[in-house]
Structure 1
Amino acid sequence: MPAKRPIRNRRAPLRSARSASRYLVALFSAIVVLILPTSGSTPDWAGESTLLTLPRVPWEGGPAYWKQFPAADAAGWSSPDFFPIVAWYNGISSDGEAQYDKALGINTYIGMDASTPYSLFADNGMYWIGPALNDTFTSGSKNWVGAFLDDEVDGRYTPEEGRAHLRELSHAAGKDGRFSYANFTQSVLSKDMRPADAEAYLNDFTDVVSVDMYWYTVPFCSAVPYRENYLAAIPQNGCRSSASYGTALTMLRERDAADGRLQPLWQFVEDLNGGPGDQPFTANITPAQLEGAVMSSLIGEARGIVYFNQSLSGPCQGGSVLRLSQVEQDFCGAGQASAVGRIDALIKQLAPVLNTQSFAYSFGPNLRTMFKVSGDSAYIFSMMGAGTSAGQRSFQLPAGVTGRAVEVVNENRTIPVGAGGAFSDSFGSEADYHVYRVRL
């Protein structure tokens, strides 16, 4: 894994003091959506009662989750229009730099030079997760929403030492109205780690959690012999694929759910190269792969995206990929930066949809899909099934969705729906995705 600079944060909220509160918020939200339209939705269509009988995908409560953290709530994180898109180590030293990042869809930062004034966040509507960088950060700094406990503790300590370390950070944090977040390595998804140790890491200290595993660009997928021992199988012939990012979310949710409480799961995606600097270069993620990895993460129910913004090996390196794309003409990662902007624009456009609870429904074989309803429309986020070949796919709409045309979002085309509620579309590669909107 990349050698990322750890941040030791002494201001993370105490998890044990709030676990009951988080559970009640999630439980209340889960009950409400079974009775009322989901957040951001005001359906008024004939199929409402039919669709509401479909099972729902378990979730932590959506935008309502953030209401239990006064800092995040006051900053607008509980709005259905907000979706966290985070840059890992992308320092800002001017309004122009912050606005460039904002144009690419970034709204939050983790990792920053200690001299960065708080005003750069406040003046540009950007958010900070981490410690107080300097004395311009105060308890009333509205755009300072969260505390970052530490990075990859499971890869740097024994389980006993790691838990003690995180416990110390949590206890030292106090109660300041900010949520606590930590990132872990893929070890917590592996059967090589005792389930009790992995579950303790993911459930005992945080309010938001993520795992970093850069499937497209790390040497792991090319290892000979190949050895994977994850909670869900990732065969070598499908390891370097967008599907692996979604599978990682599925495994992370399994670990997170072990204590009966759910928290938002965020996903790391490399915006250029995720391979360790001390190992042979494998590849850079392509622009199409980057978008596919993000979409697969969303379909896997990611509630936030974190871009690993450093490239530590290969011919195109840099400590801040997005910043280099701003200041260097003909930058070798310009295509990837543009892809960040495209997929983030789609996330922002569909945030009110993404922030609703998904229905559990299978549209057909050889597909990975997420099904949501918002307003007067149903939305299908779709990609090819893991390990399947490119080509045509058939979709069967559930009862209650009676639209006779499917709009392919941002593709300027529609697809007719047959009398039986079926339609088909093609996928050119494993990283391809389509988002369909069907009027209800």
Structure 2
Amino acid sequence: MASRRLSKWLLLIPLVLVVGVAWVIAQGGAATTAERFDLPRVPWEGGPAYYADFPVAKEAGWTDPAFFPIGVWFESVLEERDVRLDKEAGLNTYVELTANSDMKLIREHGMYAMTSKPLPGAGPETVGWLLTDEPDMFAGPGDGKWSGKFAGEGQICLPEKPPCGYTVMRTLKDKLPKGDGRLHYANFGKGVAMWESDEEASTFVNSYTDVLSTDIYWYTDAHICSEAETWLKLPRDRCPRAANYGRVVDRTRRLDALDGRRQPVYAFVEVGWPGANGRTAITADQIAGAVMNALVHEARGIVYFNHSFGGACVSQHVLREPCTKDIRAAVTELNRRITSLAPVLNTQSYAHTFEPRLDTMLKRHDGSYYVFATVGEQGSPGTYRLRLPAALASAGSAEVLFENRSVPIRDGVVTDAFATEHAYHVYRITP
């Protein structure tokens, strides 16, 4: 009896060895993919962990990898319907609010704010302070005397020369609460983006803030392409494009790195018609392309300019208006996609060139690799071949997120069409 049992076990040994070897190979293959994936990383400020140094933001949950800041510029929250509409649109942060806004409503609905001063009823929902908007433009780079006035209110600097933008920043920051665990934020404009030297612009970028952004409304500013041709040597046929928004993020990030201390750079994108004499209103597809291109260029947050001063729907609340319901629907879907990708976006990117005419970003999360691809300034609508890193070349296919399709990987290459200059695709590859 004992010998028969022994014989049965001896017969099982080859099977056990085969299964064991297969398991080892499978584990070794998975480990090898990760181990061979030794591409350099794109510099960053630390992602969500950055906010751990600011107790109010940390307590609010900004260190959560599933959180990605999606803001709206200078809104008002007067009744519950306001905040409900904004939250349903996928927004989570108010960057400046009217003085009569109800901070309790914002807090109760789990939304956040960065305001230029403490508003009545403010509390833990206020995660940061807004220093000011576009001081590089209305006051210029310099330490002159500031009159206390802003754009449109009279003479800014006393005398007009030297400029007084740095004085504006220092003065406004000194007026805010100190040591209260909140972020300091500022938004800049064409001065930082193109008018000023690196030295002048970097003083704005590196001296006063913990989070920053720079706005240029490429799709709606009637004069921006001629200005960009003059200041940036950007050819007219490369403007306006979704890729121009990523250019602004790149410029801000490069300036921010000059002092050796990185901070999150957010992107500004218009959702209406910012200038009454502007080119035209932005379209839903252009908004999506601009936002995705900014994310590919490592934007750590998105802020929508929610005001429209021209066209058929003049409003301070573009994302709430019935006359812009199509824009609202498109932005809501876009924000849903961003939020679903937050754990991916909140990881450090790898440096890899898939196709030089495309703007691309590569990330890894939870065993899968994500390729974000948009048409670059040097590209045009058409079909492109994205060459994958060697470690991913043997994968069979790439899932195209949000499009209900997959594309084959042949000889380490993904081939796909980009129908417009603002087209984008997000691929998920699981080796």
Partner of residue 46, structure 1: 32
CA separation of 1:219/1:98 partners in 2, compared to 1, >3 Å: closer, same or farther?
same
Kept in 2: contact 1:407–1:413 (CA 8 A): yes
2: CA distance between counterparts of 1:124 and 1:170? 29
Partner of residue 200, structure 1: 203
Matched, 1:408 2:411: no
Unaligned runs of 5+ in 2: 1-28, 143-163
Give 1:115 shift: 2.2
Q: How do 1:218-233 residues align onto structure 2 when only pairs under 5 Å count?
A: 218-221=221-224, 223=226, 227-230=229-232, 233=233
2: CA distance between counterparts of 1:335 and 1:135? 34
Matching residue within 125, 139, 143 for 1:143: 125
3-state SS of paired residue (2:131):
strand
Matching residue within 172, 178, 198 for 2:182: 178
> For this pair of structures, how many residues does the alignment match?
380
Partner of residue 419, structure 2: 428
Partner of residue 310, structure 1: 307
Q: TM-score, normalised by structure 2?
A: 0.85
Q: How do 1:271-350 residues align onto structure 2 when only pairs under 5 Å count?
A: 271-275=271-275, 277=276, 280-324=277-321, 328=322, 331=323, 333-350=324-341
Kept in 2: contact 1:85–1:304 (CA 8 A): yes
Matching residue within 216, 219, 229 for 1:216: 219
Give 1:133 shift: 4.9
CA separation of 1:365/1:158 partners in 2, compared to 1, >3 Å: closer, same or farther?
closer
User: Aligned AA for 1:108?
Assistant: T
Give 1:193 shift: 1.5
Matching residue within 377, 385, 398 for 2:368: 377
Unaligned runs of 5+ in 1: 1-42
3-state SS of paired residue (2:391):
coil
Give 1:313 shift: 2.1
User: Aligned AA for 1:186?
Assistant: K
Kept in 2: contact 1:116–1:133 (CA 8 A): no
2: CA distance between counterparts of 1:221 and 1:251? 16
Matching residue within 344, 351, 355 for 1:360: 351
Identity %: 39
Give 1:336 shift: 1.6
Give 1:264 shift: 0.4
Give 1:417 shift: 1.1
Partner of residue 108, structure 1: 93
3-state SS of paired residue (1:46):
helix
CA separation of 1:127/1:162 partners in 2, compared to 1, >3 Å: closer, same or farther?
same
Give 1:144 shift: 1.1
Give 1:170 shift: 2.2
User: Aligned AA for 2:69?
Assistant: P
Moved more, 342-351 or 91-100: 91-100
1: CA distance between counterparts of 2:308 and 2:217? 12
User: Aligned AA for 1:373?
Assistant: R
CA separation of 1:284/1:176 partners in 2, compared to 1, >3 Å: closer, same or farther?
same
3-state SS of paired residue (1:228):
helix
Partner of residue 266, structure 1: 266
Kept in 1: contact 2:77–2:102 (CA 8 A): no
Matched, 1:189 2:193: yes
1:226-254 deviation per Cα after TM superposition (whole angstroms, max 9, x unaligned): 74313xx4321111110100111111111
Moved more, 307-316 or 339-348: 307-316
Matching residue within 141, 153, 156 for 1:159: 141
Partner of residue 78, structure 2: 93
2: CA distance between counterparts of 1:222 and 1:118? 40
Kept in 2: contact 1:47–1:399 (CA 8 A): no
2: CA distance between counterparts of 1:135 and 1:211? 28
Kept in 1: contact 2:45–2:264 (CA 8 A): yes
2: CA distance between counterparts of 1:294 and 1:351? 14
CA separation of 1:366/1:194 partners in 2, compared to 1, >3 Å: closer, same or farther?
closer
3-state SS of paired residue (2:58):
helix
1: CA distance between counterparts of 2:297 and 2:426? 14
User: Aligned AA for 1:67?
Assistant: A
3-state SS of paired residue (1:93):
coil
2: CA distance between counterparts of 1:218 and 1:45? 50
1: CA distance between counterparts of 2:299 and 2:113? 20
Give 1:222 shift: 5.2
3-state SS of paired residue (2:243):
helix
Kept in 1: contact 2:71–2:304 (CA 8 A): yes
Partner of residue 256, structure 1: 256
Give 1:339 shift: 1.6
3-state SS of paired residue (1:297):
helix
Matching residue within 104, 110, 120 for 1:125: 110
Structure with higher helix content? 2
2: CA distance between counterparts of 1:405 and 1:158? 52
1:184-239 deviation per Cα after TM superposition (whole angstroms, max 9, x unaligned): 1121122x42322210000000001111100000012454x974313xx4321111
Kept in 1: contact 2:75–2:98 (CA 8 A): no
Which has the higher Rg, Structure 1 or Structure 2? Answer: 2
